[in-house]
Amino acid sequence: MNAKQRSKYEWGLLLGLITVIVLFVSSLWYFSNDKDQEPPMVGMVLLGGMDEEGWNAPQYRGMKKACDSMGVKLLVSDHNSGLDGACADAVREMVKNGAGMVFLTSYSYTTDAKTLIREFPQIAFGTNSAECRGRNMTSYFIRMYQGRYLTGALAGLRTKSNIIGYVAAMPNSEVNRGINAFTLGVKRTNPQARVIVMYTGSWQDEEIEAANANRLITKEHADVITYHQDEPAAANVAEELGIDYIGYYEDLQNRSEHDLTSVVCNWDRYYEEIVKYYLKGEMNFVDNRWVGMEAGLVELSPFSDAVDYEQRGILDQLKKEMMAGNFVFAGEIYDNQGKLRCRSDEVIRDDRLLQHMDWLVKGVEVLE
């Protein structure tokens, strides 16, 4: 074998060796990445129990259904107070176990969230609160106030005493936004009616919620009750006393004719959309993800038989107006202290609705 032949032979051996190495490495990559790769993981932190109807259970069911449909593993930690660091500890455990995104499902987690987004800059966060911002934090929520407006209109049609009771957790932007939309709906159908609000100071305190509902009915003569709490304690009292009520977060299944309807939302569809953003690496491209009836995410549960044909027709017309682009928070709006908050030619911007609704509209009275 001459030198030229030897050179060709050696190059052939080298190319063959390279081919074998490439095939070996490729097979390792295929089996390690395609066959044994862990599914993506997201975490969810809940204030109450995942089986507690009201706020917590629909959140859990919606996220579970969304994750199952996309092959995403869900890590859940429930019964986490926002006051003792339990939320932060739960998130640290989720990140340790592989979560790439974490959903914080309560306003009570705002303080912990401010720490966590700095501690874990590589993790994507979603929160129901609009009071915490960060490069890796996006506020997500559904425009529940649209449903509030319609149920307020129904309450205005139903009341005979012109007094409507509202049991509310605390005066933050989310709760006040709901009270204001509800009252604007009341005023649309019954300008003479008043909405009396009693705050409980907590998302979950059935004893105080029940006591407030009882007082609104027996002492203040409210003949329609609604609430913004994590469970339907106020509705339970109204049912016991034979008073009309409107639910929130969950369909109360028309217990009786007094269960007029509930504001409900399709969390599974919304969470599926949000998780898709995360999987594409786009979750935190915007500060807020806020959608509502226009996307089919906010609905009213079936009406009770007490809601007559004419009342249903009025509510349907109001919904059509919203779908056509008429905003709830638009036109001349005064607060209950007489200050002009929205001019006749103005629409209140989303950032104001989300973060700066520290006032209540004309027609609302707060009972201490």
d(CA 213, CA 193): 18
- Which amino acid is it at 167? V
Specify the range with the lowest mean pLDDT, choosing from 257-261, 283-287, 317-321, 343-347.
283-287
- Judge whether 15 lies within some domain: no
Site of tokens 């509202």 = 166
29 pLDDT higher than 50: no
Question: Can you tell me whether residue 138 is helix, strand or coil?
Answer: strand
Which residues, including other chains, have CB under 8 Å from residue 339's CB and lie 6 or more apart?
359
- Judge whether 156 lies within some domain: yes
DSSP state of 171: S
Mean pLDDT within 59-72: 94
- Judge whether 31 lies within some domain: no
CATH number of domain containing 279: 3.40.50.2300
Alpha carbons within 13 A on the beta-carbon side of 42:
27
Under the banding of pLDDT at 50, 70 and 90, the label for residue 35 is very low
- 242 and 333 share one domain: yes
- Rg for the chain, CA atoms, rounded: 27
- Judge whether 218 lies within some domain: yes
- 217 and 233 share one domain: yes
Specify the range with the lowest mean pLDDT, choosing from 89-93, 159-163, 205-209, 321-325.
321-325
31 pLDDT higher than 50: no
User: What angle, rounded to 10 degrees, do the helices at 144-158 and 173-189 form?
Assistant: 40
Mean pLDDT within 174-181: 97
Task: Give the residue from 275, 291, 284, 297 showing the smallest Cα distance to 68.
Answer: 275
- 138 and 148 share one domain: no
- 243 and 287 share one domain: no
- 202 and 247 share one domain: yes
Under the banding of pLDDT at 50, 70 and 90, the label for residue 287 is confident
- 89 and 173 share one domain: no
120 pLDDT higher than 70: yes
- Judge whether 10 lies within some domain: no
- pLDDT value of position 160: 98
Under the banding of pLDDT at 50, 70 and 90, the label for residue 237 is very high
- 184 and 305 share one domain: yes
89 pLDDT higher than 60: yes
- 309 and 286 share one domain: no
- pLDDT value of position 68: 95
- 239 and 322 share one domain: yes
- Judge whether 64 lies within some domain: yes
- 289 and 258 share one domain: no
Site of tokens 């953003």 = 277
- 94 and 180 share one domain: no
- pLDDT value of position 55: 87
Are 182 and 151 in contact by the 8 Å Cβ rule? The answer is: yes
What residues make up the domain containing 200? 144-265+298-366
- 80 and 222 share one domain: no
34 pLDDT higher than 50: no
Task: Give the residue from 147, 148, 129, 181 showing the smallest Cα distance to 293.
Answer: 147
- Judge whether 93 lies within some domain: yes
- Judge whether 25 lies within some domain: no
Are 9 and 16 in contact by the 8 Å Cβ rule? The answer is: no
Mean pLDDT within 327-339: 97
d(CA 57, CA 77): 12
What pTM was computed for the model? 0.85
Under the banding of pLDDT at 50, 70 and 90, the label for residue 189 is very high
State pLDDT tens for residues 258-279: 999 999 988 889 999 989 999 9
Instruction: Count up the domains in the chain and report the number.
Output: 2
- pLDDT value of position 178: 97
Whole-number average pLDDT of the chain: 89
- pLDDT value of position 249: 86
